[in-house]
Amino acid sequence: MKSRAAVLWGVGQEWKIEEIDVDPPKAGELIVNWKAAGMCHSDEHLVTGDMVPPKEFWPLMGLEDFFPILGGHEGAGVVVEVGPGVTSVAVGDHVSASFIPSCGRCKPCSTGHQNLCDNGAKTFIGGMITDDTHRHHINGKPVTLMAKVGTFSEFACVSEMSVIKVDDDLPLECVALVSCGVATGWGSAVSRAGVAAGDTVVVVGIGGIGINAVQGAKMAGAARVIAVDPLEFKREKAMEMGATHTYASMEEAFPAVQQMTWGVMADKVIMTPSVMYGDLMAGAQQLCTKGGTIVVTAVAPMAQTESSVNLFDLAMSNKEIKGTIFGSLTPRADIPKLLGLYREGQLKLDELIT
């Protein structure tokens, strides 16, 4: 099968539209006609190199070359062909991509942590999850799929572990958004931060993930949802999606949060900037109250190993710092759940498309 796809050939290059060959599915695999894809900042992290492993690590990962890579991990489409043994979806089904695969059998999956499925370790390794061989080629050269879904292609061969069936009446562009940005942001507030009624919550960075952390905090009952972003447009959108206050920077937000909480500060600080540089943690820690929680959601440069964390304050103020992927949600349960909230008018999705 021939397909057009957006492919990246190296760090700092532009996405190129290429014609690729897509082989038929093998056992446990299927072909999806991707109908909608989101441009998540994680795709940009490939361009800038933030999510590209250092070249010296490639041999350890079994890679001769990290590139070319077919982009896209946020998406929705229709199943057009299934391989042997596929049971959870059939031809014609509408599906959401799941950039975190879920096998249901590994320790994380079997203990309720599908977002940490062991198969996610193969995200940046070439070949299929199923057998490590390739189904996608350009002029005979193997192409790696980002997160093993490659939603920047009209057609892609993916593992059954990487798709989730959704109801046919749901707009596919909304399904695509829930497959990554919405779930990750909403879950960062509701699941990982554990926002509770009456909390003061600060969300730093109002992109596709941050705007949904705002939604999640509001839905969880936060009394104050404070959105921080240098762009006025994003601050205005944050107010539409549930924020109560907005500021252009953490430095600007600090005295305001101090005043509105009578010096108590924020119960939860959720870090969703475009790139999570280590020095941003100093501001997050200052905004966080004693016994409070800081959730780091945004992607940092892969080789970054230092962070501006005051360990004395961390210990003596009993604060905690948590990482999260996919908002610490369970893809197979929570993607349909969030789409149900959209159908009931509680979760805003159409408003996210600008």
Strand partners, 321: 294
Point out the catalytic residue in the list 109, 174, 180, 288: 180
| Integer angstrom CA distances of residue 242 from 212, 223, 227, 236 | 9, 10, 9, 10
The residue annotated as part of the active site, out of 45, 94, 136, 245, is 45
C-alpha triplet 325, 326, 329: angle, nearest 5°: 110
Can 102 be counted among the known catalytic residues?
A: no
Catalytic residue chosen out of the listed positions 3, 41, 42, 245: 42
What ranges in 197-302 are assigned the alpha helix state H? 210-219, 232-240, 250-260, 280-287
Closest residue by Cα to residue 334 from 171, 205, 216? 216
Candidates 41, 73, 136, 245; catalytic one: 73
Verify whether residue 134 is a known catalytic residue. no
Q: Of 40, 103, 109, 117, which one is the catalytic site residue?
A: 40
Query: Angle CA(239)–CA(244)–CA(246) in degrees, nearest 5?
Result: 70
Whether residue 174 lies in the annotated active site? no
Told to judge if 245 belongs to the known catalytic residues of this protein, a careful annotator would answer: no
| Number of other CB atoms surrounding residue 9 within 10 Å | 14
The answer to whether residue 136 is catalytic is: no
**Phi/psi at 31 (nearest 5 deg)?**
-105, 130
Q: What's the rounded Cα separation, in Å, for the pair 317 and 269?
A: 15
| Positions marked active-site | 40, 42, 45, 73, 180
